[in-house]
Each structure stands twice: as structure tokens, then as C-alpha cells.
Amino acid sequence: MDITVPLLGEVEEVTLVRWLVQVGQEVQAGEAVAEVEADKAVFVIEAPAAGRLAEALVPEGGRVRPGEAIGRLEGT
């Protein structure tokens, strides 16, 4: 399952400022997994389901558009 940046309104692009979990780490549904920032506003990305972070698709400092995936979760 993909972890995506939600639609944030008029925001066209955000910077992934930090991953809060490491690849391989297990997360609970709703757990904070990453922070993105646009216009001095940090938005916390939460895990859409429980699972293990299988892959980080965007590195810290990378740019991403709302609606796009930043990582992939594998079921446990």
C-alpha cells in the first residue's frame, strides 16, 4: 500500500523534510511517518494502515506533489 501526500488545497508541491520511521520499521495505522513542508507549514503524513515501511520513494529534501506516493507499506 502506498503512503501518499494528501491533497492540501492550493499547494502544488511540498518538500519532504524528514522521515520519522526507517525502512524496515513497523508502523501502526495513523502513526506519523514523515513530515512535508510548504510555505512554512509542516504537514505530518500518517500511515494509512498498519504495516512495515518497505520502501521510501522520496528522500529527505526531495520534492513531491500532493497525491503522489512517498513510500510503500507492506502488510504484516
Find the shortest distance in angstroms from Cβ 18 to other proteins. 7
Output 14 or 73, the one with its CB closest to other proteins.
14
The reply on whether position 46 binds other proteins by CB under 8 A is: yes
Output 37 or 74, the one with its CB closest to other proteins.
37
The reply on whether position 13 binds other proteins by CB under 8 A is: no
User: Given phi > 0 = left and psi -120 to 50 = alpha, else beta, which region is 32?
Assistant: beta
Question: What is the rounded distance in angstroms from the CA atom of residue 28 to the CA atom of residue 50?
Answer: 4
